[in-house]
């Protein structure tokens, strides 16, 4: 059975345009885009809004997703998120290790449902101004990508 797979791989590699690698791993450079979404990546518009979520343990957070190209999607990523307002950090999620998944169309790898957790001192009235979200991702091969989304409005239910 193994010789058949090797023969098919050799035939493929001898054919023009054949690739055995995953399409989300073959980008020429790294990019990172912030978006929303709990189960999937939803691109942000120019001035996105995110719903504030009250967690079961008393904390509050918003859900963020990431879309990356050029990073190794075969192993977990080290991700860091922060949310600030006029230079003051109000929220952070440090060193989570989510497993990315390739998009079906091959346009990159996605991590969805990351929680950007607000500090205990943040109050509902603090969301009368937008926040800025910064994301940094590192893959297991040393690849790094960063993204910033300015003017994110947090909606308090």
Q: State the average pLDDT for the chain.
A: 85
Give the fold, CATH level 3, of 24-155.
Answer: Immunoglobulin-like (2.60.40)
Distance CA 64, CA 148 (A): 12
Q: Positive or negative CA dihedral for 93, 37, 135, 105?
A: positive
**pLDDT per residue as tens digits for the range 72-120:** 999 999 999 999 999 999 999 977 898 999 988 888 999 999 999 999 9
Instruction: Say whether pLDDT at 15 is over 50.
Output: no
pLDDT band at 24 (very low <50, low <70, confident <90, very high): low
**pLDDT per residue as tens digits for the range 106-157:** 889 999 999 999 999 999 999 999 999 999 999 999 999 999 999 999 999 9
For tokens 């709990």, the residue is: 38
Return the ∠ at Cα 73 (arms to 19 and 116), rounded to 5°. Answer: 150
Percentage of the chain lying above the pLDDT 90 cut: 69
pTM for the whole thing?
0.81
DSSP output for 94-130: EEE-PPPEE-TTSS-EEEEEEEEEEPTT--GGGGGS-
């Amino acid at each position: 059975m193994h010789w058949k797979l090797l023969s098919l791989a050799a035939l493929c590699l001898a054919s023009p345009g054949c690739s055995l690698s995953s399409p989300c791993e073959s980008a020429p450079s790294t990019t990172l885009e912030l978006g929303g979404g709990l189960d999937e990546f939803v691109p942000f518009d120019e001035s996105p809004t995110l719903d504030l979520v009250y967690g079961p343990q008393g904390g509050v957070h918003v859900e963020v997703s990431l879309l990356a190209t050029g990073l190794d999607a075969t192993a977990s990523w080290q991700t860091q998120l922060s949310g600030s307002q006029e230079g003051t950090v109000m929220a952070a999620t440090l060193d989570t290790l989510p497993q990315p998944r390739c998009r079906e169309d091959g346009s990159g790898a996605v991590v969805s449902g990351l929680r950007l957790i607000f500090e205990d001192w943040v109050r509902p009235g603090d969301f009368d101004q937008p926040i800025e979200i910064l994301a940094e991702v590192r893959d297991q091969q040393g690849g790094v990508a960063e993204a910033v989304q300015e003017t994110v409005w947090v909606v308090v239910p």
